[in-house]
Amino acid sequence: MGGDKIKKARQAAIFMYEIFKRVPDVKMYMYGHTADGGGGGSYGDCIMRIYSEYGKASNAHALGSIEARHNNRDGDAILAAAQRIRSQNSDPCLLFVISDGAPYAMNYSGKEAIEDTRKKVTQAQALGFQVIQIAIEEEVPSDEMFDYSIKMTDIKNLPNDLIAYVSKKVDKLIKSRTII
């Protein structure tokens, strides 16, 4: 992801951080990733960049350094983030994935990468996460990889889209738990 997409991803990440850091009892974890030599790794690696982890010191300005680095193994990154969070926190979690929906790395592209991402999203959900893609100009339709997604066309719309999405999910949860 590069150009305008990475700028939108950076804006979305900063927005999410600013909103959720103010919510009581939210345990926030924020990661980025690159693959195949980006960030000091080598071919086949998925390197995770830690921007913020609950209970650990974090640099409030680190998200400003989000930039296109190299390739992306989305499935591996999603599952690695879920496993890392799960090793520190057993609570049910929302896992937001800011993505252009284009998993691509060396020997990781096309239908195989899409299927791998879908498989790893399913594995993360089995760990107790609701994985929600924030789709930035998606290249692959979100529903091919994610059960839940919010399309972000403009950062100005993200607050309303996010609130509408979460409200709809909360309403559904309340209705499913209401006994008449």
Other C-beta atoms within 10 Å of 31: how many? Answer: 18
Select the more confidently predicted residue: 60 or 178. 60
Q: What domains does the chain contain, in order, with CATH numbers?
A: 3-177 (3.40.50.410)
User: Mean pLDDT throughout 57-68?
Assistant: 66
Distance CA(146)–CA(113), nearest Å, equals 13
- The model scores a pTM over 0.85: no
Closest CA to 73 of 17, 145, 9, 14: 145
pLDDT tens-place string over residues 22-42: 888 888 888 887 776 655 555
Residue 170, pLDDT above cutoff 60: no
Give the three-state DSSP class for 66: coil
pLDDT of 111 reads: 94
Name the average pLDDT for the chain: 80
